A and B are shown apart, each in its own frame.
Chain A
Amino acid sequence: MSTKPIDALALAPHAANPMLSRPYRVQKVRQETPDTFTLELEPEDKQPGMTFAPGQFNMIYAFGVGEVPISISGNPAQPNSLVHTTREVGTVTRAMRQLDVGDSLGVRGPFGVGWPVTESRGADVVIVAGGIGLAPLRPALYQLLAARKYYGKVVLLYGTRTPPDILFRRELQQWHSRFDLEVHVTVDRATGNWRGNVGVVTTLIPRAPFDPHSTVAMVCGPEVMMRFTVQELEKRGVALENIHLSMERNMKCAVGFCGHCQYGPTFICKDGPVFRYDRLQPLLAVREM
């Protein structure tokens, strides 16, 4: 019988080397909207799945095509099913959309700083999401709802282009029917028999039911949407240090080596992607950055 000790690194080399992908297999593919889809993945090595914090992201490698950063959109309490929701916009995400159940992908991560969910206990929480920005916020919402009694009011304000672009539609309906969660959805352009709100997501903020003096805001969406959202939150009286944004830049290595996502003195990949607004404010004012 061999007495050779088990080499933990040989079993899970990705654990020690953040540049090394771990192979995952596609469990489920779900088309969410005309241009957005969700992949549910499981580790091929059958080892325990990935634990992550809401707001963190992974580098997803479509073999032979390339690697892209994508936020985790699943439930942090279910680490064995890794869920990513993304739009089909480039070569890599188009290749990902072609994958079928059983196909393989490489995954590196999780990376970055997530949403301050635990730190927000005792306060009201307002989540403002625009378009695909709801995906990185969904894990935060799962975690808030799992520990609902520790928070004041929890409000989700979600805006997107048109009714067919509404992400996680079934879950939004379930959340809407809860008594302990306030959900408001709006679209920029109404089509069909839409009877909901029409207008940009910022128009939902003035009348949203939260106490601005005791509120933590988590905001994710296109940068221009986040800018106007912050203005509205500030008008309501939410302190700038209680507003958190998830930023997006060209992330490559994901560990702060390559500098592709450098944003002033910070790296979006390792210091973010979630930042406190008051720390980001001077950088956002620099147009060339």
Chain B
Amino acid sequence: MENLERIITEHPFFAGMTPEHLRLLAGCASNARFNAGQFVLREGEEANEFYLIRHGKVGLEVYTPNRGALTIQTLGEGEILGFSWLVSPHRWRFDARCIELTRAIALDGKCLREKSESDCRLGYELLKRFSHVMVEHLQSARLQLLNVYEAH
């Protein structure tokens, strides 16, 4: 637990949070390990956690009937996987599958949702950080849509 608390405290994603909130986050955290090819999340399932990727690579996939699983984005060391736990109806929108052996810290989103209802400051601090993650994803998706490398 001490080790997890240290990792969470030093992670840039949580920089600026109070010691009390960092302890609370560490209390909701556990180590996770996924083999290459293993699914971390499945589209449509309940979204009750998020992950700080410590090592490895995870692909976000969408399954299409004619083309199979398409990877739309990859996430790696230091990045955050999953924000649907924060947004109603709390269901994953994509599959997430490990491309290589991946180690992460899993945080219990359901617990944090409940705590955020009674501790608005915690909720706001989490929302600020996850808004940033969402905006980064949105901007990347827009750039991908632009198809900038196409000959014009």
Contacts and interface: CB of A to CB of B under 8 A. Distances in A.
Nearest to B59: A198
B151 interface: yes
A197 B74 CA distance: 6
A199 interface: yes
B76 A197 contact: yes
Contact of A200 (B77, B79, B140): B140
A154 to B, nearest CB: 20
B71 interface: yes
Nearest to B70: A190
Interface stretch (B81-89, B120-128, B142-150): B142-150
Q: Is the interface of B mostly helix, strand, loop or mixed?
A: mixed
A273 to B, nearest CB: 18
B146 A161 contact: no
A202 B140 contact: yes
A30 interface: no
Contacts of B72: 190, 198
Nearest to B79: A207
B30 interface: no
B140 A224 contact: no
Nearest to B78: A207
A130 B72 CA distance: 18
B73 A35 contact: no
A89 B152 CA distance: 8
Given A194-B71, A203-B140, A161 B76 contact: no
A221 B151 CA distance: 12
A161 B73 contact: no
Nearest to B71: A190
A200 B149 contact: no
A167 to B, nearest CB: 11
Interface residues of B, number: 24
Contact of B151 (A35, A188, A197): A35
Interface string A126-137: 000011100000
Contacts, number: 63
A130 B76 contact: no
Contact of B140 (A87, A130, A190, A199): A199
A31 to B, nearest CB: 16
Contacts of A189: 70, 144
A130 B144 CA distance: 12
Nearest to A186: B74
Contacts of A161: 147, 149-150
Nearest to B139: A228
Nearest to A194: B71
B99 interface: yes
B143 A202 contact: yes
Contact of A188 (B57, B79, B149): B149
Contact of A198 (B74, B78, B79): B74
A222 interface: yes
Given A189-B144, A224-B146, A198 B73 contact: yes
A203 B139 CA distance: 10
Interface of A: 35, 87, 89, 130-132, 159-161, 165, 186, 188-190, 194-200, 202-203, 207, 221-222, 224-225, 228
Q: What 7 A-B pairs come out closest when comparing CB atoms?
A: A131-B149, A190-B71, A222-B148, A200-B143, A161-B149, A89-B151, A198-B74
Given A189-B144, A196-B74, A207-B79, 8 more contacts: A161-B149, A189-B70, A194-B71, A195-B99, A200-B143, A207-B77, A222-B148, A228-B143
Interface of B: 57, 59, 70-74, 76-79, 99-100, 136, 139-140, 143-144, 146-151
